[in-house]
């Protein structure tokens, strides 16, 4: 368990917080590209790390992410006119480009002479895999974009969803470092396997107490969960945690896999970006059928980023199905995760000082420690190394069965789910 003050370090992300300062050293997803698909289209409200912002696509196709409030009289630029390479405040006509430069002061005598001295806060942006990313840290420390393959796929190879939840980001993310929950939360009582489209190995349900082999890397951790698969074999689910908030979920080499990104909007709300992708070829009709069934991707309330089944309606739990079909009575895989994490300890921020952790929680413990160590180092003036190690992020997850004599880390190196170089020590946790 954590001390209360350590828990506070993990969960608070505002502009003046230690964790907020750390997260601002990384590229952060801000919104989907499709939300601002049109040049000179309507601006969009954005909340990110506790900051109130507005996004727009200008006449040239560049994306601006500005402080939502005009520096003149603090009117909200969401109401603004997006025209001729800038966002114009409707209150007095002040206009700003994507870099935050004031380009017009029409209500000020001699405005052309003083406009160069006026700026509004703006964050650099870039677009990858249908997502607009922002860098919110010190300009002189802006890092290269991480080289994870899934962040640079063409539209044909990926399906991206956005879901907004009332839950703290770290609380939402920790479920991805908990392999044993798959054996229960995502199982069924009427069979030994969940629906086929999840592509979760049957060994995850025949051995519900996996052993951890965890490899620290220059990007985060390779998280290998070992299960029994007969007298001479082990089943391995190797996920990748990419610091600070991305998880590549284990999947067979010939199947699409899920990438989860848990972005803190503020202390109590999270944007869950869920990328379903193939690295080697476009998604086919069979792949996309899994998306449409509501199992891998839940049904949404039209025109929103809220799921139809949600915490306000108890995720539409079916107690009869829970008795005879699924373990939870909740239809969708991500909804099953949301249900247990959103109300973890009674609210959007869990009190980790009251937990009783065991060997099954080793990955969670190590991720917490990695983040806390990084936060404390930055508080002492030492910058995190991970943002500069963009190439190290080029890794993959894997779900496979190997002879007991085979080294899983050597196998993943060959496959491409590689550790980053550097002679780091393997931590075998039983």
Tokens representing residue 170 in the block: 């770290």
The single-letter DSSP state of residue 251 is: -
Numbered ranges of CATH 2.102.10.10 in the chain: 27-141
Confidence of residue 156 (pLDDT cuts 50, 70, 90): very high
Q: What Rg do the C-alpha atoms of the chain give, in angstroms?
A: 23
Confidence of residue 418 (pLDDT cuts 50, 70, 90): very low
Tokens representing residue 238 in the block: 């190797």
| pLDDT at site 208 | 87
Q: How far apart are CA 71 and CA 68, in angstroms?
A: 9
Q: Which CATH architecture best describes the domain 27-141?
A: 3-layer Sandwich (2.102)
pLDDT at 198 over 90: no
List pLDDT tens digits, range 23-70: 999 999 999 999 999 999 999 999 999 999 999 999 999 999 999 999
Q: What percent of the chain has pLDDT over 70?
A: 93
| pLDDT at site 353 | 87
Around 344, how many Cα atoms within 13 Å sit in the side-chain half-sphere? 26
* pLDDT higher at 112 or 195: 112
| pLDDT at site 423 | 31
Specify the pTM: 0.93
Give me the sign of the Cα torsion angle 124, 128, 132, 135: negative
pLDDT at 197 over 80: no
| pLDDT at site 420 | 38
pLDDT at 100 over 90: yes
| pLDDT at site 422 | 34
Q: Which stretch of 115-129, 194-208, 228-242, 362-376 has the lowest confidence by average pLDDT?
A: 194-208
Quickly tell me which residue has 């009582």 as its tokens. Answer: 189
pLDDT at 416 over 60: no
């Amino acid at each position: 368990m954590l001390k209360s003050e350590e828990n506070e370090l993990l969960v608070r992300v505002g502009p003046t917080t230690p964790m907020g300062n750390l997260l601002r050293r990384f590229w952060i997803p801000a919104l989907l590209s499709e939300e601002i698909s049109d040049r000179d289209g309507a601006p969009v409200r954005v909340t990110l790390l506790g900051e109130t912002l507005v996004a727009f696509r200008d006449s040239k196709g560049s994306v601006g992410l500005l402080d939502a409030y005009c520096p003149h009289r603090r009117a909200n630029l969401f109401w603004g006119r997006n025209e001729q390479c800038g966002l114009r405040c409707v209150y007095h006509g002040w206009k700003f480009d994507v870099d935050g430069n004031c380009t017009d002061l029409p209500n000020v005598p001699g405005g052309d002479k003083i406009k160069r001295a006026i700026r509004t806060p703006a964050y650099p942006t870039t677009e990858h895999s249908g997502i607009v990313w922002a860098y919110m840290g010190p300009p002189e420390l802006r890092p290269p974009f991480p080289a994870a393959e899934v962040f640079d796929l063409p539209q044909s190879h990926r399906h991206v969803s956005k879901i907004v939840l009332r839950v703290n980001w770290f609380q939402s993310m920790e479920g991805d470092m908990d392999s044993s929950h798959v054996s229960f939360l995502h199982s069924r009582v009427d069979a030994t396997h969940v629906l086929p489209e999840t592509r979760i190995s049957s060994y995850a349900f025949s051995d519900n107490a996996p052993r951890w082999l965890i490899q620290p890397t220059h990007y985060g951790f390779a998280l290998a969960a070992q299960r029994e698969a007969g007298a001479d074999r082990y089943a391995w689910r190797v996920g990748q945690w990419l610091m600070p908030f991305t998880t590549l979920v284990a999947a067979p080499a010939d199947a699409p896999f899920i990438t989860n990104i848990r972005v803190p909007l503020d202390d109590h709300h999270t944007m869950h970006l869920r990328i379903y992708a193939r690295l080697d070829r476009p998604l086919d009709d069979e792949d996309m059928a899994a998306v449409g069934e509501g199992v891998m991707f839940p049904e949404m309330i039209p025109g929103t980023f809220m799921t139809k089944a949600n915490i306000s309606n108890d995720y539409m739990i079916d107690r009869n199905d829970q008795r005879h079909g699924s373990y939870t009575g909740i239809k969708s895989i991500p909804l099953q995760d949301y249900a247990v994490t959103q109300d973890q300890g009674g609210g959007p921020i869990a009190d980790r000082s009251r937990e009783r952790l065991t060997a099954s929680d080793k990955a969670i413990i190590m991720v917490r420690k990695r983040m806390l160590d990084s936060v404390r180092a930055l508080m002492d003036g030492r910058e995190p190394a991970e943002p500069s190690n963009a190439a190290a992020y080029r890794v993959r997850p894997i779900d496979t069965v190997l002879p007991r004599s085979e080294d899983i880390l050597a196998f993943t190196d060959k496959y491409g789910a590689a550790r980053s170089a550097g002679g780091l020590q393997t931590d075998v946790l039983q």
